[in-house]
A = this chain, B = another copy of it.
């Protein structure tokens, strides 16, 4: 069988760089959102691009599946080896290779995490802005086209990756893009690989745009009488062009969860959490303008802080919100929805969703990167309750239908993986077949993360 032959050859070539240990296979078969355990047949730990080339070449020869692994923080089961094969764990390829402050860019290996990268950047006055919450690997973030709290200001991984080194499905290495800030020289292969979830090749190096650390940062928090008011305030701020660095919604169920988990004392009401980046004067100005907008929408207790520890506590609370919500119902599995709609339809989308979840008798606190029109309902379900599972699936399906009917997307930032595959046909129509054509062209033997993202092969 192809997989066993590939493993034998890999062991001969990589020695201790491959493991078949049960515990490691199991660790690489799990995911954050508890899709069924699907361990790979072996885990390889490359230390260089050459190692990755060897691994993929061997797998290509034996038609053995290859699945990339970063920090294991993906939410849709992107890295699960649903057809077995070799998991390629990039933990040893985690170096920051070249920081170029004058060009505000950096070249890194895929296994570095965003927190480690920002730690290394600290002395430069620059930072890497994309912040999905989890301490994900940069390679994984690129593969999922991740974004998060700061995308409203600094964009997503699509906007932040200048160039890639990629090992293709045949084991060859290619470079996409240059360090130029713009280029019209041919197809945007960088953009094609970003978000492709390892189905077209493995990313072995990334060149990223950096941002200047703002002179001043302030954060703010504001309670609202209703989610509608909070969303309406968000829409006003975005439509007037206020350059928010973050604007996050937590509904009152989420507030209950974070109060309990983070020992905070927010009033049990929907909240917006904000951050402003600029000079002392502009952040004060922006905070004041948002305060006025909030007041027009019955905002309560608007307060803003510039002290680092206050800000850190606020964002730690927000970053822990997903885990806090899981604690609301210990043992529950989460179905995390991820729709994103045009900002003018956001209030409507959140309202309909909340009402649907209530009618469906489901627990689903809502968190949102509302400046982008993106929000998540974290549906907490008892996996042994078939009726509840079915109601949650149906509600999730309706959210996607709603998003598409409003001009939006089934996935704002978590990607497709196993969790959203069923929505691809509905969202993309004939364009999904085009994705399949591209996949077959670049990976004719379907070895790169098979079973993900594109239509099933005939």
Query: Contact string, A423-434, partner B, CB cutoff 8 A, digits 1/0?
Result: 110011111101
Q: Which 7 A-B pairs rank lowest in CB-CB distance, beginning with the nearest? A: A441-B441, A191-B191, A102-B344, A179-B407, A183-B409, A180-B340, A184-B415
A187's nearest neighbour on chain B, judged by CB, is: B435
Query: Contact string, A172-184, partner B, CB cutoff 8 A, digits 1/0?
Result: 1111101111111
**In the assembly, how many copies of this chain are there?**
2
A451 CB to closest chain B CB, in angstroms? Answer: 14
The reply to whether the CB of A188 lies closer than 8 angstroms to some CB of chain B is yes
A residues engaging B (CB < 8 A)?
100-105, 144-147, 151, 156, 158-159, 168, 172-176, 178-189, 191-192, 194-196, 212, 235, 239-241, 338, 340-344, 372-374, 403-404, 407-416, 420, 423-424, 427-432, 434-435, 437-438, 440-442, 453-454
Contacts of A100 in B (CB 8 A): 342, 344
Query: Are B438 and A438 within 8 A (Cβ)?
Result: yes
Query: Are A340 and B147 within 8 A (Cβ)?
Result: no
Query: Are B185 and A430 within 8 A (Cβ)?
Result: no
Query: Are A343 and B181 within 8 A (Cβ)?
Result: yes
CA distance A412 to B181 in the complex (A): 8
Contacts of A423 in B (CB 8 A): 185
Query: Are A178 and B408 within 8 A (Cβ)?
Result: yes
Query: Are A188 and B158 within 8 A (Cβ)?
Result: yes
A242 CB to closest chain B CB, in angstroms? Answer: 10
Contacts of A178 in B (CB 8 A): 404, 407-409, 427
A194 CB to closest chain B CB, in angstroms? Answer: 7
Query: Are A195 and B188 within 8 A (Cβ)?
Result: yes
A232 CB to closest chain B CB, in angstroms? Answer: 12
Query: Are A144 and B424 within 8 A (Cβ)?
Result: no
Q: Quick one: which of B158, B189, B428, B435 contacts A435, CB cutoff 8 A?
A: B189
Query: Are B434 and A168 within 8 A (Cβ)?
Result: yes
